Structure 1
Amino acid sequence: MRHTVVMTGASRGIGRTAAEHILRRSPDVHLLVVTRGDSGARRAADLSVGGHTVSHVSADLGSLGSVRSAAVEVLGRLDRGGLPPLRGFVGNAGMQYTDALTEGPDGFESTFAINVLANHLFVRLLQDRFVAPARVVITASDTRFGDFRHNMGMVPGPVWKSPEVLARPGAFPGPDTAAAGRTAYSTSKLATIYLVHEYARRFPAGIDSVAYNPGFVPGTGLARNAGPVSRFAMRRILPVMALTPFATGREAAGRYLADVVLGTTEAPTGSYVDRTRATRSSEESYDPQREGELREAAERLTAAYVV
């Protein structure tokens, strides 16, 4: 049966590879890619090669108003019959900044806005249109461990605070430093796991939510806002690490993401999938009180953008 999957972060890196695998392996999918600016038609055309069905909607994920407009457009197309039934949302887009002071147009710190609030607003606006069986997949990260084993010690572990504090610039010590920017990133990725757990509690039967960890994937566009030295290392030096057990190549990470989206990887709702298998996440990522507080805060912070 034909169905729609909405996907952010499909333009490059593991998202682009995952999108290609999803289309190749599931001919019934209408993939709707969320892109920034005027690149959507080109991205959709590239992915459509071979007869696949791909369309696009434009959104700047750093602006909740833009996210709302994109979701409203998707809802309208679903309601008018321009899209087949909605059976998936993939929140793969993510961003890391060189400080914890970058502020988006809504006044939110940009890492938290893109990695947490944009995903939640999309899910919040689309959730009533999901047709079972459906799956929400949010890309997480094992940077939340903050150790050598999981990210070679390059990203500090998360520092959890009230979600209302995390949503605003300057939440971490030395907010103008790269360390604070990386802490904002790992903390936002811990938050995505909390949201997945909350969705699992609240979604009706047949609508699953899963967190996917690709591992350390060098050579992606994640560090595109970093300084020139860091960008060079990510593009030219660290990709060699993909040949070791410490890292995952982009092709493999994208294929694993497609496996989660398509259900090839067994993952009950609320699962944390580490590359190829559902497993237990860090102890800190299981905290019902934090999970509930985060969802309530995300509801408040996005309330002005709900249709």
Structure 2
Amino acid sequence: MQHTIVMTGASRGIGRVAAEHILRRSPYVHLLVVARGSSGARLAAELGAGGHAVSHVSADLGSLQSVRSATAEICDRLDGGELPPLRGFVGNAGVQYTNALTEGPDGFESTFAVNVLANHLFVRLLQARFSTPGRIVITTSDTHFGDLKHSLGMVPGPAWKSPDVLARTGAFHKPDTAAGGRTAYSTSKLAVIYLVHEYARRLPTGIDAVAYNPGFVPGTGLARNAGPVSRFAMRRILPVLTLTPLATSRDAAGRHLADVVLGTTQAPTGSYVDRSRADRSSEESYDERREGELWEAAERFTAALPPGRAHSQMTR
């Protein structure tokens, strides 16, 4: 049956590889890519070569208003029959800044806005359009463990605080440094897992939510905001680690992401998929109090639905 999968972060890195795998392996998929500005049309044309069904919608994921506009367009196209039924959302886009002081147009710290709030807004505004079985996959990171084994000492572990603090600039120690920016990143990826656990509790039966960890993948665009030395290391030096268990190649990570999206990897709702299999995430990532607090804060920050509709459509 023809169906639609909406995907962010498909223009480069593991997302591009995953998109190609999804289209090649599932001829019934209409892939709708979300990209900034005119890049979406070019990406859709490239992915659609060979007769694949691909379209695009423009959005700046750092702007909640832009996400709302993009989602409204998607819903209109679904309702009008231009797109086949919605069966998937892949929140693969992510950012990492060289500080924790970058503020987006809505007043939120930009790492938190893109990695957490944009995904939540997509999920909430699209949830009523999902057909079952449906699957939501959001990319996280093993930096949320906060130990040497998982981050190789390159990214500080998460420093959890009240979501009202995390959502604003300057939430971490030395916020004007790269370490502050990386702490914002690892903390945002812990937040992703918390929200996935909440989605598993709250989403209607038949719509699964899964967090996907690709592992350390050198050579992607994640370090594009880093300094020249870090960018050079990510492109030219660290890729050699993919020959060891310490890192994952871009091709392998993209293939694993496609496996999760298409259901090839068995992962019940609420799962954390580490590369190619469901596994336990960090002990810190299982905290129902934090999960509930983050849910309530994300609802306030995004105002995705009027209170009455939000309560009636998704209850704990």
- TM-score scaled by length of structure 1: 0.99
Instruction: Give 2:177's aligned residue.
Output: 177
Change (3 A) 1:108 1:151: same
**Where do 1:31-42 residues align within 5 Å?**
31-42=31-42
What secondary structure is seen at the aligned counterpart in 1 of 2:135? Answer: strand
Q: What is the aligned partner in structure 1 of residue 14 from structure 2?
A: 14
Alignment of 1:191-206 (within 5 A): 191-206=191-206
Give, as a single letter, the amino acid of the residue that structure 1 aligns with 2:176: D
Three-state SS of the structure 1 residue aligned to 2:295 is helix
Shift of 1:305: 7.9
- For residues 217 and 148 of structure 2, the distance between their equivalents in structure 1, rounded to whole angstroms, comes to 14
Matched, 1:190 2:190: yes
Unaligned runs of 5+ in 2: 310-316
Partner of 1:143: 143
Equivalence for 1:29: 29
Alpha-carbon offset, residue 148 of structure 1 = 2.2
Match of 1:296 in 2: 296
| 2:228 equivalent to 1:228 | yes
* C-alpha spacing 1:206/1:305, structure 2 compared with 1 (3 Å): closer
Distance (whole Å) between structure 2 residues aligned to residue 24 and residue 95 of structure 1: 27
Q: Could you tell me how far 1:50 is from its partner in structure 2?
A: 1.5
Specify the alignment match of 1:78 in structure 2. Answer: 78
Say if 1:214 and 1:256, in contact at 8 Å, map to a contact too. Answer: yes
Structure 2 distance, partners of 1:40, 1:278, is 32
Tell me how far 1:173 sits from its aligned partner: 1.2
Question: How far apart, CA to CA, are the structure 1 residues paired with 2:203 and 2:171?
Answer: 31
Q: What one-letter code is carried by the residue in structure 2 that aligns with 1:278?
A: A
Paired residues of 1:116 and 1:188 also in contact (CA < 8 A): yes
Partner of 1:268, secondary structure, is: coil
> What's the secondary structure of 1:174's corresponding residue?
coil
- The separation in 1 between residues aligned to 2:181 and 2:305, in whole angstroms, is 26
- Alignment-mate amino acid for residue 19 of structure 2: A
Q: Give the letter aligned to residue 15 of structure 1.
A: G
Deviating 4+ runs (over 3 angstroms): 304-307
Which residue of 2 is the match for residue 69 of structure 1?
Answer: 69
Aligned-pair distance for 1:204? 1.1
Asked if structure 2 preserves the Cα contact closer than 8 Å seen for 1:65 and 1:305, the reply is no
Look up the match of 1:132: 132
Contact 1:135 1:209 in 2 (8 A): yes
Rounded Cα–Cα distance in structure 2 between residues aligned with 1:162 and 1:150: 25
- Equivalent position amino acid for 1:155 in 2: V
Query: Distance in 1 between the 2:235 and 2:169 partners?
Result: 28
Cα displacement string for residues 235-289 of structure 1 (whole angstroms, at most 9, x for unaligned residues): 1111111111100000000000000000000000000000010011110000011
> What are the superposed Cα offsets for residues 185-215 of structure 1, whole Å, 9 maximum, x if unpaired?
0000000000000000011111000000000
CA distance in 1, matches of 2:182, 2:59: 24
Mapped partners of 2:28, 2:292: distance in 1: 36
Maintained 8 Å contact 2:125/2:305: no
Q: How does 1:108-119 map to 2 (within 5 A)?
A: 108-119=108-119
> Is there any run of 5+ residues in structure 1 with no aligned partner, and where?
none
2:143, 2:150 within 8 Å by CA — same for their partners in 1?
Answer: yes
Which AA in structure 1 matches 2:128? D
Taking every aligned residue pair, what percent have the same amino acid on both sides? 81
CA contact (8 A) 2:145 2:281 kept: no
Is the CA contact (8 Å cut-off) linking 1:64 and 1:305 kept in structure 2?
Answer: no
Superposed, 1:68-107 pairs within 5 Å as 68-107=68-107
Amino acid paired to 2:209 = S
Residue in structure 2 matched with residue 250 of structure 1 by the alignment:
250
Q: Which residue in the other structure is 2:210 paired with?
A: 210
Contact residue 107 and residue 168 of structure 2 kept, 8 A? yes
Q: Distance in 2 between matches of 1:61 and 1:114?
A: 6
Q: How has the CA–CA distance of structure 1 residues 239 and 179 changed in structure 2, closer, same or farther, with 3 Å as cutoff?
A: same
1:304 is displaced (CA, Å) by 6.7
Cα shift at 1:145: 1.7
Q: Distance in 2 between matches of 1:60 and 1:203?
A: 26
One-letter identity of the residue aligned with 2:141: S
Aligned to 1:5: 5
Further displaced range: 30-39 or 142-151: 142-151
Aligned equivalent of 1:261:
261
In 2, Cα distance between equivalents of 1:196 and 1:189? 11
Distance 2:182 2:56 in 1: 30
Distance in 2 separating the partners of 1:34 and 1:243: 32
Q: Contact conserved, 1:272 with 1:281, CA < 8 A, in 2?
A: yes
